[in-house]
Amino acid sequence: MNSSFNKLLTFKTPLIALMIVIFSINIFLIERVDALSDSRQLVLDAWTLVNEGFYDPEKFDEIQWKRIRQKTLQKQIETSEEAYSAIEDMLRPLDDPYTRVLRPKDYELLKSSNFGSEINGVGLQLGENDEKKVKVISTLGGSPAEEAGIVSGDLIETVDGISAKKLGLASTASKLRGESGTKVLVEVSSESGEIREVDLERRSVDLRPVRTKRLRDDSHTIGYLRITQFSESVPKKVEEALQELKEKEVEGLILDLRNNSGGLVSSGIAVADSLLSEKPIVETKDRNGIKDAIISQKETSFDGPMVTLVNKGTASASEILAGSLQDNERSILMGEQTYGKGLIQSLKSLGEDSGVAITVASYLTPKGNNIQGQGMTPDKLLDLPDASDFGSTDDKWLRNAELFLESLLEKEEVSVRTIDLNNEEIKSLNG
């Protein structure tokens, strides 16, 4: 008995020692996983947010979305920067440049542009073309990019010597931003193929999203309302601007959406609501294929005749507004074909100071037109060169809109006079 017990004890001693070693290793591994959990959690959170919100879930099966998550988590992810890079790699197969991770600086900048009135950078609104090249949607008024002559349709070839196509849309936009006073070297190619280098100095750009003035001639008073982007404050500012114009007794309105690359879709819809009475504004289609029509309220802030100016820098939320006005025959559209961004993004927090933008839906105009990749065709195309200073005395597009609106007002007067005359004739016949 004692002999057997001693043999068993002899056998168990190394076994216990081995278990202690294994247990110690496990403790070490657990501590190491805990140390990495914050960075890995960013990746897991990003995957979950996209998995729950992305507008095209069929894409997940096509790219083996769950397998991508597993492969991503096998990478070395010890820092936040490694987590952001891993998320970028993870999102790339979705083939959607608008679904992207936003590092702290970019996240804060995007929030400030949506909710604030100033932004630091060079003033470029960017998208991608069919060849995955970074394309200029529009430039902000008074920005370094506008002053350097960069226009809608130009391609960004390199930023500080690095290929923009290799960087991708999000990283290109990120490299263009920075502290006021710093410089960035940008290689730009025009639609004609001309390539040039531009040295841009970043600075604070006053967005001034809503601008207005009164246009007068001998016979009519017309209001001019320019919206440069759709931030949170815009609907209220538009209401105030329309009220001011009504107090000045304007008879018609020119709405200028040129180079308005979008912003908050909710703000664009709110502005449409103030100009339409019980009419469909937009129809959104979510990941389940459910179409949701948004209808305007009965009350309007302005119900007079309108002309809306658009160009190839008119995109996203501004296309929703323009499309609702055109399809409901509320306003004539003048200018050129718009950009064609018919996808809606939602901004989600990721950790304490970063975020992820996710394409959550597509939209159709009230008549069911899909704008994505196509844009909208104005009722009246203008083949004149677009102005370098929108709303100025040299703005020929604005002058065309003004003349057309005056003709509409003249027709209204003729119609009213004809009705009055007919009433007088009726009275004389009955007298």
- pTM value is 0.77
**What pLDDT score does 218 carry?**
73
DSSP 346-399: EEEEETTTEEEEEEEEEEE-TT--B-TTT----SEE--SPPPSSTTSTT-HHHH
The predicted pLDDT at position 12 comes to: 46
Sign of the CA dihedral with 388 first, then 391, 392, and 396 last: positive
CATH code, residues 2-94: 3.30.750
Does the domain at 210-411 match CATH 3.90.226.10? Answer given as yes
For the question of residue 341 being annotated catalytic, the response is: yes
Which is the catalytic residue, given 261, 279, 341, 395? 341
Q: Is 327 a known active-site residue? A: yes
Place of tokens 């995007």: 110
Which CATH architecture fits 118-205?
A: Roll (2.30)
Instruction: Give Rg (Cα) of the chain.
Output: 29
Catalytic annotation present for 89: no
Strands, E assignment, 81-209: 100-102, 118-121, 124-128, 134-139, 155-159, 162-163, 183-189, 195-201, 203-206
Which member of 113, 316, 318, 354 is catalytic?
A: 316
> How is the chain split into domains, by residue range?
2-94, 118-205, 210-411
Per-residue pLDDT at 13: 46
Select which of 45, 256, 273, 327 is catalytic: 327
pLDDT in tens, the chain (431 residues): 444 434 434 444 444 443 444 344 443 433 344 444 688 999 999 999 999 999 999 999 999 999 999 999 999 999 999 999 999 999 999 999 889 999 988 888 777 666 544 455 888 888 887 788 898 888 877 789 988 999 888 999 999 999 998 888 878 888 888 888 899 999 999 988 899 999 999 887 766 789 999 998 778 899 999 999 898 899 999 999 999 999 999 999 999 999 898 888 999 999 999 999 999 999 988 888 878 899 999 999 999 999 999 998 899 999 999 999 999 999 999 999 999 999 998 889 998 889 999 999 999 999 999 999 899 999 999 998 888 778 888 899 999 999 999 999 988 765 544 444 454 543 443 44
pLDDT score for 15: 41
Q: Provide the residue type at 44 as one letter.
A: L
